[in-house]
């Protein structure tokens, strides 16, 4: 049983139990303290009073019902709006149901809309089932949603904090911001979105868990674990569409301990602007079981961190914003920064991950070529779709392979004998004459200094030499290592640190291979000595002279830049340096280096040696000569015409010339300080290829300094210059993405055509269109279109050669509601919920999708799709949906494309239609077009402008539509105005001939019109449904009815109906309806009398339905129920046929009428129910 305290003026000062002792806490309702939750009144004081009362009572649950509670901040930022106290939980009716919203116009800093008290150790408190709304668009000043903590830098703490099912949105600062310090905190099942900084922060938390939460569309990070947080778990959380990184673990300041013992497990991270997961300046962090995809930068970046274990994750299609590896490991040099320290990126483990690269992913896993990035192990990962390789390692003791080297074995300065195990091992001999035996497994053996004996053993082994003096010969000394069991099928020799270019004569940076038959030994040697007289030499047992080739060697060191501005310096060897995007500074150093600057204006220095400068796109280096054009040309600072070369073969340039037709020309600037290599050919945006070389080289450069494309007849495929950018959009909101000009180009300078599909080559979704001329994607996703769409854009030249790039469109959900169009033609999409779609003006298309939707197209010729479930199509103005049948008339007819009879409804109640019929007298009728594929529902009655209501339904529904499929207006109740007595006399009275210009019915209607404003005349129609002129005879009897508006009673009477052919009379059946009981019965008999031909009485042989006699048909009237009349009505109305009855005032009930030229007298019996016979009928 829950204990409920409802406070009026009384205050509970001595609670019978403490908060901690209650299994079900006491309830404190904010309504009892004056909170309204009406979205207008400021409820801050009322809510705080409720919290204070709960705290004074020892604790409890402060309840806010459904509604919007306006709150405002205190005088100081640390006051927040409301302060929770120990043992108090703030509880709502659910996220989106109970909303605590910061007041419009708030202009102060609010450190927590809801928070714990500053400088107080608060314990056992929390919040659940509600939304905090920072009202970002209508406020100024930094606003955080939730804040708790003691005092930064102090020993106090908050503890035992639980937040469950809480939404925080639209705060200009942080969403959830628990702070220094908090112990034992749980945030679960919660959402943070639309905030100006991070969605969830863990700032100095310990023994805490964030689980099953979602952070999306925040301006910075989704989750930010920072400032000495330790022993902390992120479990099954999702971070997507955030401006920077999905999940960050990082050090918050240089003088405090870094985060440690952090576990990140399960969940997904995707569509974020930067990395999926960033581990920076932290230690002992594990990342496992996550789905990391479609992020702007690397899937995982380990930055200046140690002891990070990344395992059993799925990474795919990351690096969308720039060419980088899917997983990057690097050190962090802050020696010249705030901390003055260097943070290594060492001793990390990447294992068991499935990695699928995007078009930009250079490697699956790669180390940066930096000091302090050592002893990292990249083991057992499944890697595919990378542009430069699967893995890349530089560091001492680092390893990449299919299996994990369980042991790193290191020798000493002495002569060591080291034998490995069956595992994959990295064995260092160091100095001394060592004997290294790898044993089983794929081992790396580094003998180091001294003449070492190396045996790889079983497995694919690598023999690595980091210094020339690791294995060498001089004129007098031999310190040559011997590899005793080199396996030509799988072993390799790593010489990438020594600068050799390949196999050859042994001269000019090459290595010679020879065989000594006496020793049965193959030698790999350089014939060029260094400055100390040392020449590299390595011996291999056996004769391998004719089987060794370049594939058995690793000659070059690869140095990779990032998408930003990098400074990359090579070694003394032959380096391959790739700057990638950004304004880079590349220096090859010594050796024959290969430099590729990539996009943007790079500064390239080859250094000593014969260097090669490679260009793979004409947009790697270009100038735009338009008025507002840009200059993005590279500068080569030390081009040596005697040995350096520029490779232009990949971009289709074929020789020196005048700059046209895929040629280049040379020019020098006015002061002779720069020489330009350029083309005159421009691409579609006015860009021309151009490189600047320092100095005046005009007379020294020749074709030998270039590598041109030699296959002049071979077409070159288009190239991608700028990767496409992922997009985020919300359902029902218009979307447009214009691809940046110049993203694609053709090396042959031919025009390109563009096409777009999904990446599986299927068509784009219906809501998305692509303009191949403007390269613009646009559309409005419908209410059920949420999800991730992977789009493939292909650029093709005239020969069909093509290049493609993909990007993602992430469509987020939108809540159901009212969707209103404009006065223009447009398409509105409903959601999966119950929506109201209002088209307003224009020829609109409304699609309700799922849910019980209400659709009103408004003016114009609209097309309406209700979608699944029971939908209602509303028509509120006749001129919204009409046809004008006059010559030159207009048609504005809506079409309901998917009407389901028995489920959907057509609401015409606002137009005054009362039912189905012949289209007259407030009824609608139906027709089918000639093709039988469209059903029209229309009125036959025009308005003053000759417009008639009309709508169309796709399909043949004329046999299935019933009144149950419509919402009609209600008939106005009418008082009984006139009641003829039934019988032979009346039948005779109402029989008319073609020369009867003054029928009994005509006279009756004239009398009725005198006593009521009801449209009596509209009740009389002919067999075709056309109104009759009661002043003209030649009519037959037809049915009609009137209602008693006081008591809902119904009576029947005979009315006239124009016959199609003169001289033929038909007696029609009477309509009789059941009315509520009253004080007079109209008929007590179980059946009505029959209408007979004049002078004829019904015989026992007459058909109970009808009998044909003399061209007249006798129709049996409907058997009546007891029909009640007003108390004033004559109870003798069902009297004998043809007799005169006396009315209450003594006058005769009968009356004579002269009928045309025959002067026949007809007797009419009747009574006025309104005055009980006080006037003549």
| Per-residue H/E/C for 229-278 | CEEEEEEEEEEECCCCCCEEEECCCCCCCCCEEEEEEEEEEECCCCCCEE
* Distance between CA atoms of residues 398 and 406, nearest Å: 12
Say what the pTM is.
Answer: 0.42
The pairing of strands 934-938 and 923-928 is antiparallel
Identify the H or E element spanning 41.
strand 38-42
What is the CA 396 to chain-centroid distance, rounded? 45
* Distance between CA atoms of residues 1088 and 61, nearest Å: 73
Q: Specify whether the CB–CB gap between 1076 and 1124 falls below 8 A.
A: yes
Model pLDDT, residue 136: 95
* Distance between CA atoms of residues 1175 and 285, nearest Å: 103
* Distance between CA atoms of residues 230 and 203, nearest Å: 10
Model pLDDT, residue 24: 61
Model pLDDT, residue 403: 65
How is residue 859 written in tokens? 């003016």
Model pLDDT, residue 1168: 40
Which among 769, 782, 783, 785 has a CA at the least distance from the CA of 737?
769
Q: Strand, helix or coil at 705? A: helix
CA angle in degrees (0–180, nearest 5) for 30-31-32:
90
* Distance between CA atoms of residues 1025 and 1031, nearest Å: 18
How is residue 483 written in tokens? 């590899």
How is residue 530 written in tokens? 């260094």
pLDDT in tens, 382-435: 999 998 889 998 888 788 887 655 567 888 888 989 888 777 788 888 888 999
Model pLDDT, residue 1009: 63
How is residue 365 written in tokens? 């896993």
**Furthest-apart CA atoms within the chain: distance in Å:** 159
Whole-angstrom CA distances from 563 to 244, 297, 670, 722, 730 are 15, 9, 34, 12, 29
**Which residue ranges of the chain lie beneath pLDDT 70?**
1-24, 252-255, 338, 403-407, 572-573, 627, 711-714, 748-749, 814-816, 972-1177
CA angle in degrees (0–180, nearest 5) for 33-34-39:
135
Q: How many residues does the chain have?
A: 1177
Model pLDDT, residue 1020: 57
Going 1079 to 1082 to 1084 to 1087, the CA torsion angle's sign is negative
Which among 1055, 1015, 1052, 1026 has a CA at the least distance from the CA of 1038?
1055
The pairing of strands 453-455 and 735-738 is unpaired
* Distance between CA atoms of residues 62 and 53, nearest Å: 9
Q: Phi and psi (nearest 5°) for 309?
A: -120, 110
* Distance between CA atoms of residues 765 and 733, nearest Å: 15
* Distance between CA atoms of residues 319 and 1123, nearest Å: 84
Specify burial of residue 668 (Cβ count, 10 A radius: 0-12, 13-18, 19+): middle
Task: Give the dihedral of Cα atoms 877, 880, 885, 887; nearest 10 deg.
Answer: 120
How is residue 37 written in tokens? 């939750």
Residue 87 CB partners (closer than 8 Å, separation 6+): 18, 19, 20, 54, 55, 58, 59, 60, 123, 124, 125
Identify the H or E element spanning 665.
strand 663-668
Measured between its terminal Cα atoms, the distance across the chain in Å is 75
Which among 178, 167, 169, 182 has a CA at the least distance from the CA of 143?
169
Going 915 to 1049 to 1144 to 1150, the CA torsion angle's sign is positive
* Distance between CA atoms of residues 524 and 537, nearest Å: 6
Q: Which domains does the chain have, with CATH numbers?
A: 1-220 (2.160.20.10), 222-404 (2.160.20.10), 407-554 (2.150.10.10), 557-707 (2.150.10.10), 719-812 (2.60.40.10), 818-967 (2.150.10.10), 979-1167 (no CATH)
Model pLDDT, residue 937: 95
């Amino acid at each position: 049983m829950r204990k409920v305290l409802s406070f009026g003026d009384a205050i509970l000062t001595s609670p019978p139990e403490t908060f901690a002792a209650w299994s079900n806490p006491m309830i404190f309702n904010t309504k009892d303290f004056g909170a309204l939750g009406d979205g207008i009144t400021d409820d801050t004081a009322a809510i705080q009073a409720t919290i204070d009362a709960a705290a004074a009572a020892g604790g409890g649950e402060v309840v806010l019902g459904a509604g919007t509670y306006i709150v405002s901040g205190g005088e100081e930022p640390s006051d927040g709006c409301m302060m929770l106290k120990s043992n108090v939980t703030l509880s709502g009716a659910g996220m989106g149901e109970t909303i605590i919203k910061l007041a419009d116009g708030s202009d102060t800093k609010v450190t927590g809309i809801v928070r714990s008290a500053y400088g107080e150790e608060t314990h056992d408190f929390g919040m659940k089932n509600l939304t905090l709304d920072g009202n970002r668009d209508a406020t100024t000043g930094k606003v955080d949603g939730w804040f708790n903590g003691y005092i930064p830098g102090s020993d106090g703490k908050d503890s035992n904090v639980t937040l469950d099912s809480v939404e925080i949105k639209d705060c200009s600062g942080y969403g959830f911001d628990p702070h220094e310090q908090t112990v034992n905190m749980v945030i679960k099942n919660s959402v943070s979105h639309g905030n100006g900084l991070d969605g969830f922060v863990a700032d100095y938390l310990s023994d805490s868990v964030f689980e099953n939460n979602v952070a999306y569309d925040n301006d910075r990070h989704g989750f930010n674990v920072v400032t000495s947080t330790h022993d902390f778990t992120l479990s099954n959380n999702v971070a997507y569409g955030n401006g920077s990184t999905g999940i960050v673990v990082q050090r918050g300041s240089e003088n405090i301990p870094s985060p440690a013992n952090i576990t990140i497990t399960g969940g997904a991270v995707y569509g974020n602007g930067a990395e999926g997961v960033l581990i920076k300046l932290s230690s002992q962090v594990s990342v496992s079981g996550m789905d990391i995809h479609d992020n702007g930068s690397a899937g995982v970046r380990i930055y200046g961190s140690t002891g990070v274990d990344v395992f059993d994750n799925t990474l795919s299609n990351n690096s969308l914003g720039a060419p980088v590896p899917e997983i990057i490991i690097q050190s962090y040099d802050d020696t010249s920064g705030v901390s003055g320290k260097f943070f290594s990126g060492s001793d990390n483990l990447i294992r068991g991950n499935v990695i699928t690269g995007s078009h930009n992913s250079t490697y699956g896993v790669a180390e940066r070529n930096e000091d302090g990035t050592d002893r990292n192990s990249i083991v057992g990962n499944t890697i595919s779709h990378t542009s430069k390789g699967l893995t890349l390692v530089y560091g001492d003791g680092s390893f990449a392979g299919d299996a994990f080297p369980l042991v790193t074995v290191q020798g000493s300065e002495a002569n060591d004998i080291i034998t490995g195990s069956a595992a994959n091992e990295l064995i260092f001999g160091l100095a001394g004459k060592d004997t290294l035996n790898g044993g089983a497994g794929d081992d790396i053996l580094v003998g180091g200094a001294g003449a070492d004996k190396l045996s790889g053993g079983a497995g694919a082994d690598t023999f690595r030499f980091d210094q020339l003096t690791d294995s060498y010969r001089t004129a007098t000394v031999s310190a040559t290592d011997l590899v005793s069991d080199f396996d030509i099928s799988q072993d390799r020799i790593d010489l990438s640190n020594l600068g050799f270019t390949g196999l050859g004569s042994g001269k000019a940076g090459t290595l010679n291979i020879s065989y000594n038959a006496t020793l049965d030994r193959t030698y790999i040697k350089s014939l060029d000595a260094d400055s100390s007289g040392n020449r590299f030499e390595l011996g291999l047992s056996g004769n391998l002279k004719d089987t060794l080739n370049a594939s058995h060697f690793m000659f070059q060191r690869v140095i990779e830049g990032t998408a930003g501005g990098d400074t990359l310096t090579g070694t003394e060897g032959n380096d391959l340096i790739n700057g990638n995007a950004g304004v880079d500074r590349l220096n090859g150093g010594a050796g024959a280096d290969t430099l590729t600057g990539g996009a943007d204006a790079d500064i390239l220095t080859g250094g000593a040696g014969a260097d090669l400068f490679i260009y793979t796109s004409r947009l790697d280096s270009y100038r735009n000569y338009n008025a507002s054009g840009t200059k993005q040309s590279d500068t080569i600072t030390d081009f040596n015409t005697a040995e350096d070369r520029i490779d232009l073969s990949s971009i289709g340039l074929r020789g020196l010339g005048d700059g046209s037709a895929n040629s280049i020309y040379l020019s020098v600037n006015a002061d002779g300080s720069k020489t330009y290599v350029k083309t005159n050919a421009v691409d579609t945006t006015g860009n021309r290829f151009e490189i600047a070389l320092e100095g005046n080289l005009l007379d020294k450069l020749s074709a030998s300094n270039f590598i041109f494309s030699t296959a002049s007849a071979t077409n070159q495929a288009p190239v991608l210059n700028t990767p496409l950018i992922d997009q985020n959009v919300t359902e029902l909101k218009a979307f447009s993405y214009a691809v940046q000009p110049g993203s694609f180009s053709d090396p042959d300078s031919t025009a390109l055509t563009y096409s777009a599909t999904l990446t599986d080559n299927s068509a784009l979704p219906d809501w998305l269109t692509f303009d191949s001329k403007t390269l613009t994607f646009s559309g409005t996703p419908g209410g059920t279109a949420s999800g991730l769409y992977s789009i493939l854009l292909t650029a093709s030249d005239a020969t069909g050669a093509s290049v493609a790039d993909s990007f993602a469109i992430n469509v987020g959900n939108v809540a159901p509601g009212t969707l209103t169009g404009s006065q223009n033609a447009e398409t509105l999409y409903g959601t999966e919920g119950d929506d109201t779609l209002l088209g307003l003006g224009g020829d609109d298309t409304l699609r309700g999708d799922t849910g019980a939707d209400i659709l009103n197209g408004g003016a114009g010729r609209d097309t309406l799709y209700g979608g699944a479930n029971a939908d209602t199509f509303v028509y509120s103005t006749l001129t919204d949906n009409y046809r004008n049948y006059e010559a030159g008339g207009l048609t504005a007819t809506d079409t309901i494309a998917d009407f389901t009879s028995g489920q959907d409804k057509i609401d015409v109640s606002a137009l005054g239609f009362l039912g189905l019929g012949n289209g007259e007298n407030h009824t609608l009728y139906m027709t089918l077009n000639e093709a039988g594929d469209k059903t029209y529902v229309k009125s036959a009655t025009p308005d003053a402008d000759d417009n008639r209501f009309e709508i169309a339904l796709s399909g043949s529904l004329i046999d299935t539509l019933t009144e149950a499929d419509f919402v009609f207006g209600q008939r106005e109740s009418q008082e009984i105005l006139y009641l003829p007595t039934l019988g032979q006399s009346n039948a005779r009275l109402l029989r008319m001939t073609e020369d009867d210009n003054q029928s009994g019915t005509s006279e009756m209607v004239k009398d009725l019109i005198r006593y009521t404003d009801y449209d009596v005349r509209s009740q009389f129609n002919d067999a075709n449904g056309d109104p009759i002129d009661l002043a003209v005879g030649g009519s037959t009897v037809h049915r009609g009815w009137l209602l008693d508006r006081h008591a809902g009673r119904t009576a029947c009477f005979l009315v006239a109906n124009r016959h199609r052919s003169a001289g033929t009379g038909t007696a029609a059946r009477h309509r009789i309806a059941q009315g509520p009981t009253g004080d007079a019965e109209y008929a007590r008999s179980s059946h009505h009398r029959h209408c007979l031909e004049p002078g004829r009485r019904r015989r026992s042989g007459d058909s109970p339905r009808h009998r044909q006699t003399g061209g007249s048909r006798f129709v049996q009237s409907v058997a009546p129920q007891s029909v009640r009349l007003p108390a004033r009505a004559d109870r003798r109305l069902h009297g004998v046929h043809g007799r005169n009855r006396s009315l209450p005032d003594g006058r005769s009930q009968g009356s004579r009428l002269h009928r045309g030229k025959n002067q026949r007298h007809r007797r009419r019996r009747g009574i006025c129910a309104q005055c009980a016979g006080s006037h003549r009928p």
